[in-house]
Amino acid sequence: MKYLLYILPVLLVVCTGCSPEVPPPPVERNDLVVRFFRSLRNNSSESAALQGQKIYAMDKRNYFVQRLVAVQQANNYIRQAQRALNAGDLKRSIKELESGLQRFPNNNQLHTQLDKLRKLRHAERHFIAMRSAPNPVAMNSALAAAQAGLEGLESPKLTLFFTNYKRSIERWNKHNVQNRTSSVQVPIRSFDDK
């Protein structure tokens, strides 16, 4: 019985063993988290994405870390695309996001931003159609096409532009109604005429 007390702990250790997927010590994880946030503070998207991927590898159930990694993967490319767009180079902006998608093809943020830029590329065509519309019917059609084509690009300026365009259609319609009613001449018959 005495020997059993000495052998039992040894048997428990041997029988249970250590699984090959032992999580890293908390110190290593904490160090990775600190480096991750330091990279974020220094605007180093590449380093932050790398640190985040290591943290995610330690805990695959952590959706928050997965989301942060995706954001960091996209940030660098979105920043470059924004610089190109601010410089007025829409083509280069689109190319920046496309190169990001080549590297990270499953990144939803890059897909979303690229879709917005592609819509922006067609915006000029919509505005030309709105400006050249010859009558209220064509204006309404051009407005509907522009609103559908630029969906997702809403901004206060664009909303104001569409609102003002609708008002100009209403003014045109009102003006045409007034002109039609004032130009209609009803022959008045005099009572003296028999």
Contact between residue 158 and residue 126 where contact means Cβ atoms under 8 Å apart: no
User: What would the CATH number be for the domain defined by 25-121?
Assistant: 1.25.40
Task: Kindly give the confidence (pLDDT) of every residue in the chain, 194 residues in length, as a single tens digit, with 9 standing for 90 and above.
Answer: 565 555 656 545 555 555 556 565 667 777 877 887 888 778 777 777 788 778 878 877 777 877 777 787 788 899 999 999 899 899 999 999 999 999 888 888 999 999 999 988 888 899 899 999 999 889 999 999 999 998 888 888 888 999 999 999 998 888 777 666 555 454 544 445 54
Contact between residue 173 and residue 136 where contact means Cβ atoms under 8 Å apart: yes
How far, in Å, CA of 143 to CA of 129, rounded?
Answer: 9
Contact between residue 49 and residue 73 where contact means Cβ atoms under 8 Å apart: yes
Question: Going along the chain, which residue ranges are E strands?
Answer: none
How far, in Å, CA of 100 to CA of 81, rounded?
Answer: 10
Domain positions in the chain: 25-121, 124-180
Tokens of 83: 């610089």
Q: Is 25 exposed, middle or buried (0-12, 13-18, 19+ CB in 10 A)?
A: exposed
How far, in Å, CA of 145 to CA of 89, rounded?
Answer: 25
Model pTM? 0.58
Tokens of 44: 């180093």
Residue 171, sorted as left (phi over 0), alpha (psi -120 to 50) or beta, turns out to be alpha
